[in-house]
Structure 1
Amino acid sequence: MPSCRALARNHDFTALWIGQTVSEIGSRMTMFVFPLITFAMTGSAVLAAASEALYLLGVAGTLLPAGVLADRYDRRRIMLVASGSGVLLYGSLAVAGVLGELTVPHLFAVALLTGVGAGLFAPAEISAVRTVVPAEDLPTALSQNQARLHVASLISAPLGGVLYAVTRWLPFAVDAVTFAVSFVQLGRIRTDLSPETYDGPRPRPLQDLKDGVRFVVSRPFFRVLTIWSGLSNLAVNALFFVAILRLIEGGFGSFQIGLVEAAAGSAGIVGAVLAPWLIERLATGWLTVAIAWCFLPLVVPMAFWNQPWVVAAAIGLGMLLNPAGNAGIGSYRIAVTPPELLGRVQSTSQFVSWSMMPLAPVLAGVLLSTVGGQTAILVLGGFSALVACIPTFSRSVRAVPRPALWERHKAPGAVAVAA
């Protein structure tokens, strides 16, 4: 029978997961609605895009210092501050909407500050997961987190559209409630989420930040994985943007185009269910290599048949293995990172990935306008192939075994997570 301590940890992860699933749906819904409201108020596509860009800027700009905070202070309090600020910020938009005082500067300020909150939350959350989840259960826990993202992707846009159709401010009121749910669920966590105790005088924050970056840069596995994940995000997201923009140019309706995102979300959920089974049976390194190449065969049909069902099928098939790859290699990275460095290592890797993401629509737009949709997809396919070579030719990635053998790969200073 599971021990009381194990039951408490299961309770804590469940509380964290439920709160973040609800909050993730709300946040993605709001990001869908932000450009709609901004365009309705201004008629400017540039300003509409700026609202989402400000959110991404807030996330990327906060991640590195947030990693330092996660390794210095109680992660539960950090997450409570981030969730509480979401309640206040989105609540302020709802109140302004009710009073008829909603303005674009207010929207932009909330977009930026909620991005800051998301960046603050992320390293603290992953450090908390490491604390409350036994090492052998990390792949399953991160697979559940992958499922959370795809459920949010599937639900958020339709929900946002329905609420927006009722009244403009309603999505913000609902999102404030989702952050309140997250706040309450975080309050139910019983495990002490304080960072590891530090022997001797504590280094300055800047030195802490340098230590995290130095750890990533000095180890081939972390260095390769960080470079690959950033470039892979750029390539795959640009490919997705080109496919969607090409469908829009082809005159297809919003319902048909929505089929693509629904297919991606549905496939991601199925992939997240299969992920623990795949991770347990396949060497994590070779599973990662397979993920790197999985989108390549799908480029050809997308290039030659500009149809929603073709794009939906291709993106959906490409997403099936994605949760297993993300959860597998992510779990390994957490398992072999010294606990006292986890927040900084995670934030460094996420910073690179998030910094690349705003470039994806820019790259997609430039290619689409200069060489046309078909050539743009083939060019991005070639770029994706080059990016896939990074983990394929890396011995440090290929050598990662199945989870049962991860213990021998722990970095100096890492300790086993108690069951």
Structure 2
Amino acid sequence: MTTERRDPSGPPGRAPCRVGANGSRALLRNRDFQALWTSRFLAGLGKESGEVAYPLLVLALVGSAAQAGAIGAAQVTAAMVSAVLGGALADRINRRAVLLVCDLGRLALLVLFTGLLLAGHASIPLIACVAVASATMTGIANPVATAATKQLVPAAQLADAAAQNQIRLFGTTALGAPVAGSLFNLARALPFAVEAVTYLASAVLLLAVRRPMQADRSEAEGWTLRGVADGFVLLVRHPVLRPMIAWILGFNLVFTVTGSFLAIIATAEGQGASHLQIGMTVSLAGTGGLVGSLVAGLVVRWARPSATFLVAAWSAPLGALVLLAAPNVLLLGVVVGCVFAIVPSANALFHGYVAASVGDARQGRVLGAVVFLAMLSQPVGILGVGLVYDHAGPEWVFLTMALVSGAAALCTLTPVMRSLPRPEEVSVA
């Protein structure tokens, strides 16, 4: 069924924007949103390639996996904490300005770092400082960019926009590693030079966005600690978002990309698989998320939201039980890939509900809280997978994954989750 809705963020006099069955085509013609999306894609590609290039550089300089891991952990922590700050900034000052400062800041940082590498002045403390500073600016920018979406697309297209953002997320994850590895083989400084170029291009595209990225801030509240925590409070109190974020927390404990890959890699090695087989297994698992992101828009438009969350939630414990009985290594990757395939659709719906049900004045803080909570459970889950594997073996890893994800999936059986309206039908909190 096709409906008509005027784009509230467009200029006066614009013809009504046709949504519904034609929503995806209208979104593709939205030049402001597509400019923002492409900007964030380039920035994300630079970030993902950097996350591979930093450990490669550390290993090349000192050969220490522990030091490379410590820098990686520091990056995750910095991005997680700074996301809360970014969310607060998104609700109080110009979002375009914040994004430009983050992009240009990373550009200057990477140009300086590339010069020092070429001059032979690289050191572990320097690498750590650059990696953490870049991750901090990434953490600030992410909720700001996501909050801006609400102002650039009409309400009926918010879920479609969130689905397209999933393509960006999984696409940069898939492309970042091979790009970084190929460039690093040519020259150690090359991945960081190219990363700097992506931030420059990202900043230029931000200037091409014509419409404001935030609503009127004339009545914005003052800066207080309570105000910063307001995003967490709203998530806890919101009847629709509360069970969703509870499920996300439980799912991320055992089915993050890193944790799942660790589980299947360790299991494959324990079964005597070759490096080629292990690589193919991990590739199959990662491909599931990328394929799922490409069809997320169709799922969001045509499937019932409750059904999407039910399938996403209960495929995790079912998949973990199948992993227990998997007869060969490659099947491990296929099963994890199937679980990951439905995640982008659930993510898109969740962000669609956040955009539709939270007013623009609190978008940033809620999104900052979402990023913080989603990332908070990941290192705990990754560490847990390693500890359980070392002390009890792969069978208990997969059984634990089934139990934890099954407990989290119970959130989808609540009355609210079983009768979800479409995101555009939810009232603003």
Q: What is the aligned counterpart of 2:230 among 211, 214, 217? A: 211
Instruction: Assess if the C-alpha contact under 8 Å between 2:285 and 2:335 holds in 1.
Output: no
| 1:308-347 matched pairs, under 5 angstroms | 308-347=329-368
**Cα deviation digits, residues 165-220 of structure 1 (max 9, x gap):** 12222111111111111111111111112443343x73333232133332222223
User: C-alpha separation between the residues in 1 aligned to 2:282 and 2:162?
Assistant: 22
Instruction: Assess if the C-alpha contact under 8 Å between 2:174 and 2:290 holds in 1.
Output: no
The CA deviation at 1:274 is 2.1
User: C-alpha separation between the residues in 1 aligned to 2:365 and 2:218?
Assistant: 15
**Cα deviation digits, residues 40-96 of structure 1 (max 9, x gap):** 322322211011111111111112121111000111111111111121222222112
Q: 1:32 to 1:255 in 2, by over 3 A?
A: farther
Letter of the 1:410 counterpart: S
Letter of the 1:411 counterpart: V
**Residue number in structure 1 paired with 2:10:** none
Instruction: Assess if the C-alpha contact under 8 Å between 2:114 and 2:189 holds in 1.
Output: yes
Q: 1:328 to 1:85 in 2, by over 3 A?
A: same
| 1:60-79 matched pairs, under 5 angstroms | 60-79=80-99
TM-score by length of 1: 0.90
**Residue number in structure 2 paired with 1:152:** 172
User: C-alpha separation between the residues in 2 aligned to 1:289 and 1:74?
Assistant: 38
SS, match of residue 217 in structure 2? coil
Instruction: Assess if the C-alpha contact under 8 Å between 1:32 and 1:160 holds in 2.
Output: yes
Q: What is the aligned counterpart of 1:179 among 188, 199, 202? A: 199
| 1:304-383 matched pairs, under 5 angstroms | 304-305=325-326, 307-383=328-404
Q: 1:4 to 1:268 in 2, by over 3 A?
A: farther
Root-mean-square deviation (Å):
2.3
The CA deviation at 1:329 is 2.2
Instruction: Assess if the C-alpha contact under 8 Å between 1:239 and 1:380 holds in 2.
Output: no
Q: Does 1:138 align with 2:138?
A: no
User: C-alpha separation between the residues in 2 aligned to 1:398 and 1:346?
Assistant: 24
**Percent identical across equivalent pairs?**
26
**Residue number in structure 2 paired with 1:270:** 291
Q: 1:252 to 1:327 in 2, by over 3 A?
A: same
Letter of the 1:84 counterpart: L
SS, match of residue 229 in structure 2? helix
The CA deviation at 1:286 is 2.9
**Residue number in structure 2 paired with 1:411:** 428
Letter of the 1:227 counterpart: A
**Residue number in structure 2 paired with 1:292:** 313
Instruction: Assess if the C-alpha contact under 8 Å between 2:45 and 2:172 holds in 1.
Output: yes
The CA deviation at 1:306 is 7.1
**Residue number in structure 2 paired with 1:35:** 55
- Gaps of at least 5 residues in structure 1 are 413-419
User: C-alpha separation between the residues in 2 aligned to 1:306 and 1:107?
Assistant: 43
The CA deviation at 1:129 is 0.8
- Gaps of at least 5 residues in structure 2 are 8-13, 18-25
**Residue number in structure 2 paired with 1:123:** 143
Q: 1:5 to 1:117 in 2, by over 3 A?
A: farther
Q: Kindly tell me the number of residue pairs found equivalent between the two proteins.
A: 407
**Cα deviation digits, residues 361-402 of structure 1 (max 9, x gap):** 211110110001222122222211111112x23223223123
